Amino acid sequence: MWGGRFADGPSAIMREINASIPFDKALWRQDIAASKAHVAMLAAQKIVTAEDARTISEGLDQVAGEYEANGVPEDWDLEDIHMTTESRLAELIGPVAGRLHTARSRNDQVATDFKLWVRDAIDRADDGLKALQIALVTRADENAASIMPGFTHLQTAQPVTLGHHLMAYYEMTARDRDRFADARRRLALCPLGSAALAGTGFPIDRDMTAEALGFDGPTHNSLDAVSDRDFALDYLMAASQCSLHMSRLAEELIIWASQPYGFVRMPDTLSTGSSIMPQKKNPDAAELVRGHAGRIVGCVTSLMISMKGLPLAYSKDMQNDKPPVFEAAGLLDLCIAAMTGMVADSTFNTDRMREAAELGYATATDLADWLVVQADIPFREAHHITGAAVKLAETRGVALDALPLADLKAIDERIEESVFAALSVDASVAARSSYGGTAPNQVRSQVKRARKELGMEG
């Protein structure tokens, strides 16, 4: 493509280090679409004849058909998807193919193709997250009143409802979707027509190509347009945060599925067995979701470090932008789908969860609160009295509400029979009906709000 000024061809090492076709062939659909938009504009602006434009456009369709049927050929000499396509086009339609590259460069071409690819990746993430949210909301609705221990420091803290716990992940994924939507909004301008770095002297119509490719308009600075990879970083940062949420949910299910907890049975379809221990069912999918988060965060680090020292405008380092984005996107899509399956198809052992909530002195705060409200005792003192009651219950190996009233009275005589109503786990969760709290009525109203946001009727 540039043989004019070169005496020697590239060495084998040059060809190998230079080739991006092994990975950027994934951009072929975007590359064809952008080329078709470009040539249609060239014709509209009379930069190429209508006839040449038609020949080129039909040739591009033919190349696309070949890619669809046989995959994209990988010839390192052709470096990347842009040259691979142009070279095949020339084989098919002859020298007129050379008119396609008028008034553009691979620099604006690759920026445009990659933006289009990232935009699709954002849409896939959003679709996946929406499906996960529907699963979360459905299971939360079923379990709005199912009692489980709530933890801080992974120590039993207060009883909560399983529905409330699941809806926490609805909130996290809502922020994820918002971050992806924000990334999508910010990639709305089209780089095509920025050419190599400085724009072009041809009378192009950048609004026309921008519109044809679904952008809001053209980018405003050609130097920025060919050197900008913020859109890829925005996607990767949103993907990273999302992967942390997937990982945390996976980790909870892993803990809950272990035998000493026994809170959940994972679906067979997302578990594996052991080759040596017949009793085992391993949460491999969840563990890999947890593990993949590390790789996805590695991808954002990789691209940030590629970009951090680059002067304007394009540098070849930027060719390394694609592998981390492709890798992260593939992993993230899988993680979201795996978590959706786990949430939708896991069996929650709600009896076991309730039992665990009853065992862990999870209602100790309720005893303290009762002392504050019913006996007008300052909270710090109430906390102290309650501590003594927990200690006694622990010595006897019984739940708080199994202590006889006489023993409670021996700790503090202001304690009355009516305290027992406050000490059950059901009373405890029902009491926490502040906005956003764990009470079943609060969970149901949050589920209702979420169902509306998701467009789930009924």
- Known catalytic membership, residue 274: yes
Is 31 one of the binding residues for ligand ARG (CB under 6 A)?
A: no
288, burial (CB in 10 Å: exposed 0-12, middle 13-18, buried 19+): middle
Residue of 20, 57, 153, 271 with catalytic role: 153
Check the CA dihedral 344-350-354-359 and report its sign. Answer: negative
If the CB atoms of residues 106 and 115 are measured against ligand ARG, the closer one turns out to be 106
Is 20 one of the binding residues for ligand ARG (CB under 6 A)?
A: yes
Is 106 one of the binding residues for ligand ARG (CB under 6 A)?
A: yes
Q: What is the DSSP string of 207-243?
A: HHHHHHTT-SEE-S-HHHHHH--HHHHHHHHHHHHHH
Structure tokens at 292: 């993949």
Is 228 one of the binding residues for ligand ARG (CB under 6 A)?
A: no
102, burial (CB in 10 Å: exposed 0-12, middle 13-18, buried 19+): middle
- Known catalytic membership, residue 101: no
Is 112 one of the binding residues for ligand ARG (CB under 6 A)?
A: no
Position 221, amino acid:
N
The H or E element containing residue 34 is: helix 28-44
Q: Which stretch binds ligand ARG (CB under 6 A): 115-123, 238-246, 310-318, 444-452?
A: 310-318
**212 neighbors 40 (Cβ within 8 angstroms):** yes
The 71-100 site mask, x for binding ligand ARG (CB under 6 A), equals --------xx--------------------
Q: What is the DSSP string of 369-418?
A: HHHHHHH---HHHHHHHHHHHHHHHHHHT--GGGS-HHHHHHH-TT--TT
Is 319 one of the binding residues for ligand ARG (CB under 6 A)?
A: yes
**51 neighbors 133 (Cβ within 8 angstroms):** no
Residue of 11, 38, 194, 274 with catalytic role: 274
Give least dist CB 318 to ligand ARG, A: 5
Give least dist CB 82 to ligand ARG, A: 6
Q: Which stretch binds ligand ARG (CB under 6 A): 60-68, 253-261, 313-321, 447-455?
A: 313-321
If the CB atoms of residues 110 and 253 are measured against ligand ARG, the closer one turns out to be 110
Q: Which stretch binds ligand ARG (CB under 6 A): 161-169, 302-310, 312-320, 387-395?
A: 312-320
Is 107 one of the binding residues for ligand ARG (CB under 6 A)?
A: yes
Question: 334, 348, 288, 286: which is closest to 136 by C-alpha?
Answer: 348
Catalytic positions: 153, 274
Which residues are near ligand ARG by CB under 6 A?
A: 20, 24, 79-80, 106-107, 110, 314, 316, 318-319
